[in-house]
Amino acid sequence: MMEREQLTALLHEVEPQMRAYRRWFHEHPELSGIEKETSAKILEVVKAQGLSWEMVGDYGIIARIEGGFEGKTVVLRADMDALPVKESRENLSGEKVSVSGNDGVSHACGHDAHMAMMLGAMLVLNRLKSQLHGTVLVVFEQAEETGRGVDQMMEALKRYPVDTCYATHVYAGLENGRLCVQPGERMAALTSFTIRVKGKGGHASRPDLTVNPLMCMAQILVNLNSIWTGEINPAKTVTLGIGAMKCGEKGNVIADEGTFSGTMRYFDVEEGKKAFESVKRVCMLVAEAHRCTVEFERILQADCSVINDVSCSERAASGIRELFGEEVLADCEPWFATESMGVYLAKYPGVLAFLGIRDEEHGYGAGHHTKEFDLDEGVLIRGCGAAVKYAVDTLEER
């Protein structure tokens, strides 16, 4: 068994590099599908370690650490993309250590930290490779926010005999430095949609000569409530959020058409599908009553909720307990955001760990995808250490 002191010493050795990586990624954020410089930075580190690697899609990467002995294969995964969020120079209490250098784009969900931690894990495991019984694949997935990178990565992983997978997501809903690796449902599946409502425009002085799509959309939104009061199983939570609505430019002109967009989140995929079929039915019937038509312009369904495997969660918790102490472990409610790690976990048993970053006193804990979002780089060593320990413990099970 690998000694705790050996792992701890290696983690402290790579901690300054992880902080440097995180700041570089934070200052050079790139949107989904165009992570060119991000990919190049990761590849620079991979090549410096002398590792075998392959590109997946345009910018995704799989780096391979071959152990000194045959054994299992573990995937450690991180996401790469940033968000179209203009970052504030301040967090909740003061100035940030690092801010985006790409105006209007920022790492407002923590993917910069995810990459930094997995690069740190790669450095540690590469130092230990002569002692490892098996292979570690360190995976960097592009375009997680849009869901357009995961299928390519899953196709590439078919060439490997993967036994388990592990990832970490920083989480503003959990106390700073705590780790949650509970089994079961952890993050939700998703249906994202844009619905176009078409009517007949004209001058607002004669609404009788028009077919007003705005009035129709208003009634659709009101009537959607009936689904949640009368059709959804209360034991199977489905949430609906309408975040955008657009129709017309002037108060005295009735537009020809309008759109509204929203998302649904759920853990039970069949209940989520049923709910969206009801949404479509209500839209079509209300539109017909208003002499409008509807088009379902954009529908994105990510039907894999994040479900942690029981035995893998136990292994992860045992490793964290051994490395950092019982007090670092925490329980928390499921998070209704969506993560493509669910696709991995639908195929391979594994764990998505939540790493807490909430510390209001020092300004950390703003919501994900907000301009004030920030994190304490001191938590990186724990996220990295938990990933390393999970890989090591898995490969020691022979």
Nearest to 306, CA basis, from 362, 355, 253, 346: 346
Do the annotations mark residue 145 as ligand-binding? yes
CA dihedral for 153, 157, 158, 163, sign (positive or negative): negative
Non-local CB neighbours of 52 within 8 Å, separated by 6+ positions:
63, 64, 66
3-state helix, strand, coil in the chain (%, to 5): 40, 30, 30
List of E strands, 176-292 = 179-180, 184-187, 189-198, 202-203, 238-246, 253-254, 257-266
Amino acid at site 308: N
Tell me the two tokens of residue 180: 């949650």
- β pairing state of 184-187 and 253-254: unpaired
HSE on the CB side for 222, CA within 13 Å? 8
Do the annotations mark residue 369 as ligand-binding? yes
Contact 166, 77 (CB under 8 A): yes
Residue 146: burial class (beta carbons within 10 Å; 0-12, 13-18, 19+): middle
Tell me the two tokens of residue 360: 């209001």
What Rg, from alpha-carbon coordinates, does the chain have?
23
Buried b (16+ CB within 10 A) or exposed e, 305-344: bbbbbeebbebbbebbeebbeeebbeeeebbbbbbbbbbb
Contact 256, 189 (CB under 8 A): no
Give the rounded distance of the alpha carbon of 300 from its chain centre: 15
Do the annotations mark residue 290 as ligand-binding? no
Do the annotations mark residue 107 as ligand-binding? no
Non-local CB neighbours of 223 within 8 Å, separated by 6+ positions:
282, 286
Instruction: Output the known binding site for Mn(2+).
Output: 109, 111, 145, 169, 369
Instruction: Output the known binding site.
Output: 109, 111, 145, 169, 369
